[in-house]
Structure 1
């Protein structure tokens, strides 16, 4: 599978495949060349998941409250 295959994955599908790769690499049963390929795909999946999370976070807004405690609008979400 190539990067274009990864680009079409949902966050959940990419994360599930990444978890599967991590488990397989932890077992150490694959030959070296296969392990390297799996690691490289895992890295691409990780970057894909991070990008999806960043995009989702950019879409989230928080409700701001006025001095009287009533909702007064929205502001970008800040996880920090």
Structure 2
């Protein structure tokens, strides 16, 4: 991955990925450029997934006790 990609936040990486998808779908890029765009897009997709996984791992559900006060936390389960 390029040296600038890890510094992108989720929104920036997603925006860059959307731009790449648009260019690829429009057919405006020659073959060599399309291949390079595809590779960069795949790297950005992986970065976005990494950022989402990290955010998911940080989210915890608060468990309430019988009296309604917080009794602890449990890992997030989107399942």
Q: Is TM more than 0.5 here?
A: yes
Unpaired segments of 5 or more residues in structure 1? none
Aligned residues: 78
1:44-59 to structure 2, matched below 5 A, reads 44-59=43-58
| CA RMSD across the alignment | 1.2
1:64 equivalent in structure 2: 63
TM-score (norm 1): 0.90
Return 45-54 or 68-77, whichever deviates more.
68-77
- What is the CA-CA distance between 1:10 and the residue it aligns to? 0.6
Structure 1 CA distance for aligned equivalents of residues 37 and 46 of structure 2: 14
SS at match of 1:3: coil
- Paired residue secondary structure (2:78): coil
Gaps of 5+ in 2: none
Aligned to 2:3: 4
Structure 1 stretches of 4+ with a deviation exceeding 6 A read none
Give distance in 2, aligned partners of 1:74 and 1:33: 50
Q: TM-score, normalised by structure 2?
A: 0.91
Query: What is residue 24 of structure 1 aligned with on the other side?
Result: 23
